[in-house]
Amino acid sequence: MTHDLMFQEEIRRAVARAYSAIPSGGGEAVTRRSYSAEELAELPAGAVAWALGVGDPIPHAGLRPGEAVLDVGSGGGIDTILAARRVGPEGRVIGLDLLDEMCARAREHARAAGVEDWTEFRRGEMEAIPLADSSVDVVVSNGVINLSPRKSRALAEISRVLRPGGRLCLVDLVVDEELPPTVLGSTAAWAGCVSGALAESVFRNKLRKTGFTDISIGERLPFGLSEAALYPLFTPEVIEQMRELLPAQRHENVATSVLVKAVRPLA
């Protein structure tokens, strides 16, 4: 148990260090893969520059004017801003991030986007979300759950803050086959969303055990070494190491990005 706690703390610190150290996000190379031209036209340059997600959950979240949304691991605020446009000023969107500097950046981007009056960024951890029970209609997230060393706890927290009947809509990476131990032990590969990724069946089971219903996992897209190279979390050396350690047929399929939807039941 003590060993596990130390391991969890080590991962948490490594993730915080890695995201504090990057000079920018993935920029247009990342957003071009996932966001529509219409969405990109709604975003200030800073939010695009700091994009670090692995997909785009917002068009799938069915957001309606007036809804309250939580964006878990909001980073530079790209999805928070897109969600804020959909819920409008009668709704509200809270971005939650581990790092103060990410929250500060996201605030600046929300201001540039003109949605600052109904967005808010809070420093906090997905494993202890600083929100009241049943306080939001929808939780969105993009490339974040995989970073948690306590994923069941993070999902339980998401369920707690959702109102009964509330929806979860996220994009994350999953892995089909176990990665080599050196990759699994690489902090860069963990911070890059690869080493901490669950198998799809494990993710589904965790959601079910948390009490979620109407679980769907789809929109599968391969995430390979060419995609990893777009993110500042991976150095050229780490990419090279993965190329050497992984069989050739895995080079363009290290992990899979998936859209995960689920509902907190009414009772």
Q: Which two tokens stand for residue 251?
A: 């080079």
CB of 205 to ligand SAM, least distance (A): 21
**Taking CB under 6 A as the rule, does residue 227 contact ligand SAM?**
no
> Is there a contact between 170 and 141 (Cβ–Cβ < 8 Å)?
yes
* Whole-Å CA distances, 140 to 69, 199, 232: 7, 20, 23
Distance CA 223, CA 192 (A): 11
Q: Tell me the residue length of the chain.
A: 267
CB of 128 to ligand SAM, least distance (A): 9
CB of 150 to ligand SAM, least distance (A): 8
Q: Which is nearer to ligand SAM, 87 or 144 (CB)?
A: 144
Q: Which is nearer to ligand SAM, 99 or 198 (CB)?
A: 99
Distance CA 73, CA 69 (A): 13
**Taking CB under 6 A as the rule, does residue 144 contact ligand SAM?**
yes
CB of 20 to ligand SAM, least distance (A): 8
Q: Which is nearer to ligand SAM, 184 or 230 (CB)?
A: 230
| Phi/psi of residue 255, nearest 5 degrees | -145, 180
Among 48, 51, 217, 238, interactor with ligand SAM by CB under 6 A: 51
Among 11, 83, 93, 96, interactor with ligand SAM by CB under 6 A: 96
Count of residues that interact with ligand SAM, criterion CB under 6 A: 25
**Taking CB under 6 A as the rule, does residue 15 contact ligand SAM?**
yes
Q: Considering only residues 154-213, where is the footprint of ligand SAM by CB under 6 A?
A: 193
Is 91 strand, coil or helix? Answer: coil
Candidates 168, 131, 152, 144; CA nearest to 257 is: 144
**Taking CB under 6 A as the rule, does residue 75 contact ligand SAM?**
yes
CB of 130 to ligand SAM, least distance (A): 10
3-state DSSP helix/strand/coil % of the chain, to nearest 5? 45, 20, 35
